[in-house]
Amino acid sequence: MADGAKIPEHGRDAKELLAGIEARHAEDIDWRGGRAFSLVYNVDDHEHEELLEQVGVRYLHDNALNPFKYPSVLQMELDVIAMAADLLGTEPNAGSMSSGGTESIFLAVQVARDHSRATRGIAEPQVLAPATAHPAFAKACKYLDVELVLVPVGPDGRADPVATAAAITERTGLIVGSAPCYPYGVIDPIETLAGLALDRGILFHTDACLGGWLLPWWERLGEDVPLWDFRCPGVTSISADVHKYGYTFKGASVVLYKSRDLLQHQFFWYDEWPGGLYASGTAAGTRSAAPIAGAWAAINHLGVDGYLRLAEIVRATSNRFQAGIAAIDGLRITHQPDLSLFEFGSDTLDIDIGAVADVMDDKGWNLDRQQGGLHLMVSPYHAHIVDQFLEDLAFAVANHGESRGVEATYGGVS
Ligand SMILES: Cc1ncc(COP(=O)(O)O)c(C=O)c1O
């Protein structure tokens, strides 16, 4: 038998446990120090963090499975959905909150599958997605037994409308685009792709898990943002994670639809159970109320002016990173990004980007390794560490040895 943990015979002292947990936690990634670039979005605002912690504690034990027992949670959830819907241009009640981007995508794929079956008579619908689409689509397709058809992207990293059009079949139930995609930070040509879908009566999903809570402010700052939301004819669903650039703690995303009719495909009703009618709107049964309350508090605390202020910091910091990296001899940004995340690499034979990452690891940075280079995603706190980062990166480029052969991985299984 494996040498695993066992339930202690006698319960352990709370203070002792907390001390032990704190010691172990100190070994985890140092996101507060700006050393993480993807897992946590450090808002760099103590009052905001404190508020979220307080709200989290208030709702820690509450269960959003039955919202009617928790009118306060129900109202906050309805508010978050309505605020997101207002931001992205759909009806105030045409969406749900979910636990994260993966669940939102799962729900959108399920809605498309069932909609295709019910309205277009497609027994086995396909999902058509650019190769850069998040693996959550592959995962959803696996769980939902839907075929995923991947389309290669163009040299700029964006979905290729011509190749996408050529890949459409009688069975295509959903076409996908990202705003932006994770690997390169580029926005797919959503207007064109959604137009293709519209012409053929196919649903279209914009994955704005990353951009949903940042692109609207980017646009208001005067950046040239191509259309990607419900203003695009043909876009029928959008995923947008509040736990990313919405700056709440983990467990909060929204999935929105063009109309509440589409959302109806997501709802689950079951009245064959001795326990009574079971109704559920998302994939989970029991749901923590804390992320709902946290998302509500984050959005209300920041408001439009707060989001604009943070977007300005993120934009300026991202520009500093990009200019600094491009100025290091031999490094280049692989695809010109539309937002605050990008990949950088090297075409020069004497720079081994894997070995550069090793040196950066040794210096305490946690850069994500991709197939074509290293990945950076900028949060407000990173404004404090850009110069140190660039100094260490220049050192790593000039002084790296052989790569230790660490593979490009994202996520993990225990
Ligand atoms: C573009 C995109 N879509 C979907 C997801 C999945 O989100 P989550 O990890 O919250 O499930 C991510 C996560 O980084 C993402 O970047």
Residue 132 CB–ligand 1 contact under 6 Å: no
pLDDT band at 413 (very low <50, low <70, confident <90, very high): confident
- Cα of 133 from ligand 1 centre, angstroms: 10
Query: 101: Cβ below 6 Å to ligand 1?
Result: yes
Ligand 1 atom at minimum distance from 411 CA: 9
Ligand 1: atom nearest CA of 181 is 1
CATH class of the domain whose range is 303-398: alpha beta
Residue 410 has pLDDT above 90, yes or no: no
pLDDT of residue 405: 86
Say yes or no: CB of residue 207 within 6 Å of ligand 1: yes
For 151, phi and psi rounded to 5 degrees? Answer: -115, 130
Interval 168-221: pLDDT, tens: 999 999 999 999 999 999 999 999 999 999 999 999 999 999 999 999 999 999
Mean pLDDT on 335-348: 96
Can you tell me which atom of ligand 1 is nearest the CA of 100?
10
Buried b (16+ CB within 10 A) or exposed e, 235-258: bbbbbbbbbbbbbbbbbbbbbbbb
pLDDT at position 336 is: 97
The tens digit of pLDDT for each residue in 45-101 reads: 999 999 999 999 999 999 999 888 999 999 999 999 999 999 999 999 999 999 999
Q: Give 159 Cα–ligand 1 centroid separation in angstroms.
A: 18
Q: Please, which pLDDT band fits residue 41 given cuts at 50, 70 and 90?
A: very high
Residue with tokens 């981007």: 101
**C-beta of 134 in contact with ligand 1 (< 6 A):** yes
99 touches 65 (CB < 8 A): no
Tell me, in angstroms, the distance from the centre of ligand 1 to residue 208's CA: 9
Three-state secondary structure readout of the chain: CCCCCCCCCCCCCHHHHHHHHHHHHCCCCCCCCCCECCCCCCCCCHHHHHHHHHHHHHCCCCECCCHHHCHHHHHHHHHHHHHHHHHHCCCCCCEEEECCHHHHHHHHHHHHHHHHHHHHCCCCCEEEEECCCCHHHHHHHHHHCCEEEEECECCCCCECHHHHHHHCCCCEEEEEEECCCCCCCCCCCHHHHHHHHHHCCCEEEEECCCCCCCHHHHHHCCCCCCCCCCCCCCCCEEEEECCCCCCCCCCCEEEEECCHHHHHCCCEEECCCCCCCEEECCCCCCCECHHHHHHHHHHHHHHHHHHHHHHHHHHHHHHHHHHHHHCCCCEEECCCCCCCEEEEEECCCCCCHHHHHHHHHHCCCECEECCCCEEEECCHHHHHCHHHHHHHHHHHHHHCCCCCCCCCCCCCCC
Instruction: Tell whether ligand 1 has an atom less than 6 A from the beta carbon of residue 287.
Output: no
What whole-number percentage of the chain has pLDDT above 90? 94
Which tokens sit at 44? 């760099």
Domain positions in the chain? 53-300, 303-398
The CA 333 to ligand 1 mean position distance, Å, reads 22
Nearest CA to ligand 1 atom 8: 101
Does residue 209 have its Cβ closer than 6 Å to ligand 1? Answer: yes
Cβ of 241 closer than 6 Å to ligand 1, yes or no, is yes
Tokens matching residue 172 = 């295509």
1 pLDDT higher than 60: no
Which among 187, 241, 378 is the best mutation to test ligand 1's pocket, defined by most ligand atoms within 8 Å of the CB? 241
Cα separation, 241 vs 250, in Å, equals 9
CATH architecture, domain 53-300: 3-Layer(aba) Sandwich (3.40)
Whether residue 136 has its Cβ less than 6 Å from ligand 1: yes
Ligand 1 centroid – CA 36 distance (Å): 16
Q: Residue with the nearest Cα to atom 4 of ligand 1?
A: 101
What is the rounded average pLDDT for all residues in the chain?
96
Asked if 269 and 15 touch (Cβ cutoff 8 Å), the reply is no
Which of 182, 375, 377 is the pocket-test mutation for ligand 1 (most atoms within 8 Å of CB)?
A: 182
Region 358-383 average pLDDT: 96
Question: 380 and 340 in contact (C-beta within 8 Å)?
Answer: no
pLDDT in tens, 266-314: 999 999 999 999 999 999 999 999 999 999 999 999 999 999 999 999 9
Strands 253-257 and 95-98: antiparallel
CB of 205 closer than 6 angstroms to any ligand 1 atom: no
* Within this chain, domains 53-300 and 303-398 share the same CATH topology: no
- Residue 240 has, within 13 A of its CA and on its CB side, a CA count of 30
For the CA of 133, the nearest atom of ligand 1: 1
